[in-house]
Amino acid sequence: MAGMLTRIGKPIMDPFALIFYAAVCGLLGLAGPRLGSAPVRLIVGAIVGVVAVTLLPVLRGIIG
């Protein structure tokens, strides 16, 4: 199992990024049913994804 989490001694995914995206997806999942129809949820999901990808480097810089 540890082999799946690392590749040549380095993590495949940064734990900070994993936690950040898990939180974003979890919050979006909570709001999902209230957002309306499938096309609206798709558009909102795409916007949230773009914002999340944009904010991650900023948050990483602030936290260090």
DSSP the chain: -HHHHEETTEESS-HHHHHHHHHHHHHHHHHGGGG-SHHHHHHHHHHHHHHHHHHHHHHHHHH-
Please give the residue range of the domain that contains residue 55.
35-64
Residue 29 is assigned to a structural domain of this protein: no
Domains contained in the chain, number: 1
Give the pLDDT confidence score for residue 47 in this predicted structure.
92
Is the pLDDT at 1 greater than 70? The verdict is: no
Give the pLDDT confidence score for residue 11 in this predicted structure.
65
- pTM check: above 0.75: no
Give the pLDDT confidence score for residue 9 in this predicted structure.
66
Residue 48 is assigned to a structural domain of this protein: yes
Residue 28 is assigned to a structural domain of this protein: no
Give tens-digit pLDDT for 2-60: 445 556 666 677 888 889 999 999 888 888 888 889 898 889 989 999 999 899 889 88
- Residues of 4-17 as b/e, b for ≥16 C-beta within 10 angstroms? eeeeeeeeeeeeee
More confident site: 50 or 1: 50
Residue 8 is assigned to a structural domain of this protein: no
